Structures are given as structure tokens and as C-alpha cells.
């Protein structure tokens, strides 16, 4: 790999490629070492970390759908203290940038968690706001601009790391949400989180998932993610991390043309654990064929 073509810097973080492993699909990075050369991974976005350990949801958690996958894992994770003591040292051995995905149930908890994660070895935080606000009757932070801004501001106050806000697509106007978190101090925006969906077993006449509804990911949501990246890129002045349905190097090119600075591969890692490596190699060949000297040249160059 000719690193010079794909090497990039995202929020001040040097990366070998603009392609990351998306949260919830790439574990903590080291799980993928048997499957691909890690030099192709721009950064690892960790599985979601919460203040306390979580067992996750009961019942069926994953269901395959046409061109996609539903999941309702329920943020199963060992909690921030275990992560810092046991997992972070192992991730650091990979010498790959680490972005920690974090979730909480109140504005105060988000701030406290951000402070605990403000340590060496963590390069940035990706804030999952597709969570219910327990103090406000269960409203999802990511569907209310004021709540999203409050979380952003709390995290910003408690960390010196770049703050990436991961926005939910389950809103009326994504640009309004993006502008709200930008004004509150976000360093960057991650687009998009999963789309709410469900599946039904017609034999039992019951929902397939134990949680009834779940988050839809995979190629089925790519057109939605692409549209939202394009909209937000025109509405804010901070970098965008494009996520949602990416499975080929052509998908990466589309996201970058629409305005994404970097991208993350999610559900497709389950289909092909070598996906990031294959996508990076294909992206490099595309640049060479098109006589593009650096991948950043195509960002936001979509023609009307």
C-alpha cells in the first residue's frame, strides 16, 4: 500500500487510511487481527462503553433482513472501569488510533464518563446519543436538539479529546440536529446511527427480536446515510465521519464525494472480516487510475 495516497488526519489524529471499524461491529480491534492486516485500519471505534457494566437485552438480539441486519444488543459491555484497566492496554499494543464510543442515561453521566475516558491511549470519543434520557421520561437524546446539545456541551467540558457526536437518523431534520451539536462544541459528526425497524415471525405472530424493535444496519440504509451526509456537509463546518451500509471501495468514494472526511465499515465486517483491507486496496487503485494524488482531493466534490 502506498500510504501517501490514503494517509489522512481526522480531528488532528494521523491515520493510515480514512477507513475505520465502526462501533459495535469491530469489537475492540484485536478480535480482527487473525483476519486482516491492521495497517489498513485508520482507527478502531470501540464497542459502546457505559459507566457501569451492562448485560444487554434478553431474547433474540440479531435478525437478518433483506440487504441488512436488525440488532437490539442493548449496549452489552464490561463498563468503563474494566475497559480502562483491562482492554485499553491491549488495544494500545496495536498502535492504531482509538476512538471510544460512549453511552449514558443522563447529561451528568455523559460528562462523568467523558472525564474518565480523558486518558492516554484514547484519541477521541464518539458519543452515542441514541439512548433514552432517564431523567426526562425516556426521550431519546438524539431526537431532541436541546438534549443533544446539552450532552455535547457536557462531554466537551469534561474532556480535552475530540468529541464526535453520533447522530440518529430517526429525526425529521438531520441538519437541525447537526447544527445544534456543532454550536454546543462538537469537534466532528458521525452519520448515521442505525434506523429503527422490526421483523415479525408470521408463524408465531410474534416479533423476531426480544426487544421488539431494533436498529437496522447494512446496505439497506446506505442511501439514507449518504443523503444525510450530503445534507449535513452543506450545513456545518466540522468534519463528518460517514457510516451506514458501506461494503465496497465504491461506497467510500460516494460518501467522500458527498462530504465525508472519513468513513467507518460496520455490518459488512460480519459478512467479510477482511472488508476494511479489501476496501482500502480498492480505494488506492481507484486513486491511481483517476490520477488522484491524495484521497482528500475528492471530499465534497459532488457535482450538482
Please check whether the domain covering 6-55+72-193+215-296 is classified as CATH 3.20.20.70. Answer: yes
Render pLDDT for 191-218 as a digit per residue (tens, 0 to 9): 999 999 999 999 999 999 999 999 999 9
Q: Is 47 annotated as a binding residue?
A: yes
What cell numbers appear for 169 in the block?
437518523
Question: What is the longest distance spanned by two Cα atoms in the chain?
Answer: 57
Of residues 113, 131, 154, 208, which has the active-site annotation? 131
Cα(174)–Cα(191) distance, integer angstroms: 10
pLDDT band at 249 (very low <50, low <70, confident <90, very high): very high
In percent, how much of the chain has pLDDT > 70?
97
Q: What is the pLDDT of residue 131?
A: 76
Q: Do residues 20 and 263 make contact, with C-beta atoms less than 8 angstroms apart?
A: yes
- Residue 135 known to bind ligand: no
pLDDT given at position 19: 98
DSSP letters, the chain, are --HHHH-EEETTEEESSSEEEPTTTSTTSGGGTTTS-GGG-SEEEPSPB-SS-B---SS--EEEETTEEEE-----B--HHHIIIIIHHHHHTT---EEEEE--SSHHHHHHHHHHT-STT--EEEEE--SB-GGGTT-BGGG-HHHHHHHHHHHHHH-SS-EEEE--S-SS-HHHHHHHHHHTT-SEEEE--PEEEE-EETTTTEESSTTSEEEEESGGGHHHHHHHHHHHHTT-SS-EEEESS--SHHHHHHHHHHT-SEEEE-THHHH-TTHHHHHHHHHHHHHHHTT-SSGGGGTT----
C-alpha 300/C-alpha 302 separation (Å) is 6
pLDDT, the chain, mean? 96
Q: Per the annotation, does 269 bind a ligand?
A: no
The dihedral sign for the CA sequence 277, 283, 284, 285:
positive
Spell out a b/e string for 263-294, using b for 16 or more CB atoms within 10 Å of the CB, else e.
Answer: bbbbbbbeeeeebbbbbbbebbebbeeeebee
Does 193 belong to an annotated binding site?
yes
Q: Known binder of ligand: residue 128?
A: yes
Cα(144)–Cα(224) distance, rounded to whole angstroms? 20
Query: In percent, how much of the chain has pLDDT > 90?
Result: 95
β-bridge pairing 68-71 and 62-65: antiparallel
295 is in an annotated binding site: no
Asked whether residue 1 carries a pLDDT value surpassing 60, the answer given is: no
185 known ligand binder: no
Q: pTM for this one?
A: 0.96
Q: Annotated catalytic, 287?
A: no
What cell was used for 244? 451506514
* Residue 245 annotated as part of some ligand binding site: yes
The pLDDT of residue 285 is above 90: yes
Residue 218 is assigned to a ligand binding site: yes
Q: With cut-offs at 50, 70 and 90, classify the pLDDT of residue 140.
A: confident
Check the annotation: does 234 bind a ligand. Answer: no
Please report the sign of the dihedral spanned by the C-alpha atoms of residue 303, residue 266, residue 193, residue 115: negative
Residue 246's pLDDT is what? 98
Amino acid at each position: 500500500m502506498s500510504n501517501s495516497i490514503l494517509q489522512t488526519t481526522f480531528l488532528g489524529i494521523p491515520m493510515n487510511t480514512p477507513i475505520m471499524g465502526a462501533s459495535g461491529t469491530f469489537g475492540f480491534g484485536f478480535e480482527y487481527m487473525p483476519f486482516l492486516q491492521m495497517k489498513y485500519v485508520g482507527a478502531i471505534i470501540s464497542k459502546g462503553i457505559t459507566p457501569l457494566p451492562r448485560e444487554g437485552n434478553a431474547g433474540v438480539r440479531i435478525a437478518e433482513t433483506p440487504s441488512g441486519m436488525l440488532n437490539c444488543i442493548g449496549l452489552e459491555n464490561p463498563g468503563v472501569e474494566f475497559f480502562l484497566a483491562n482492554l485499553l492496554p491491549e488495544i494500545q499494543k496495536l498502535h492504531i488510533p482509538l476512538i471510544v464510543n460512549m453511552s449514558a442515561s443522563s447529561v451528568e453521566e455523559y460528562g462523568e464518563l467523558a472525564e474518565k475516558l480523558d486518558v492516554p491511549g484514547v484519541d477521541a470519543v464518539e458519543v452515542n446519543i441514541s439512548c433514552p434520557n432517564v431523567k426526562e421520561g425516556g426521550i431519546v437524546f438524539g431526537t431532541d436538539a436541546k438534549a443533544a446539545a446539552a450532552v455535547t456541551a457536557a462531554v466537551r467540558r469534561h474532556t480535552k479529546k475530540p468529541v464526535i457526536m453520533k447522530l440518529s437518523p430517526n429525526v425529521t431534520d438531520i441538519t437541525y440536529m447537526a447544527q445544534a451539536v456543532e454550536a454546543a462544541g462538537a469537534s466532528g459528526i458521525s452519520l448515521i446511527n442505525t434506523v429503527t425497524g422490526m421483523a415479525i415471525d408470521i408463524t408465531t405472530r410474534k416479533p423476531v427480536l426480544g426487544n421488539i424493535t431494533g436498529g437496522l444496519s447494512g446496505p439497506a440504509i446506505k442511501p439514507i446515510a449518504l443523503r444525510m451526509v450530503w445534507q449535513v456537509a452543506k450545513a456545518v463546518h466540522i468534519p463528518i465521519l460517514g457510516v451506514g451500509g458501506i461494503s465496497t471501495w465504491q461506497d467510500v468514494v460516494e460518501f467522500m464525494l458527498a462530504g465525508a472526511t472519513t468513513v467507518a465499515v460496520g455490518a459488512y465486517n460480519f459478512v467479510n472480516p477482511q472488508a476494511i483491507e479489501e476496501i482500502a486496496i480498492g480505494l488506492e487503485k481507484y486513486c491511481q487510475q483517476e490520477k488522484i494524488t491524495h484521497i482528500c482531493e475528492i471530499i465534497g466534490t459532488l457535482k450538482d
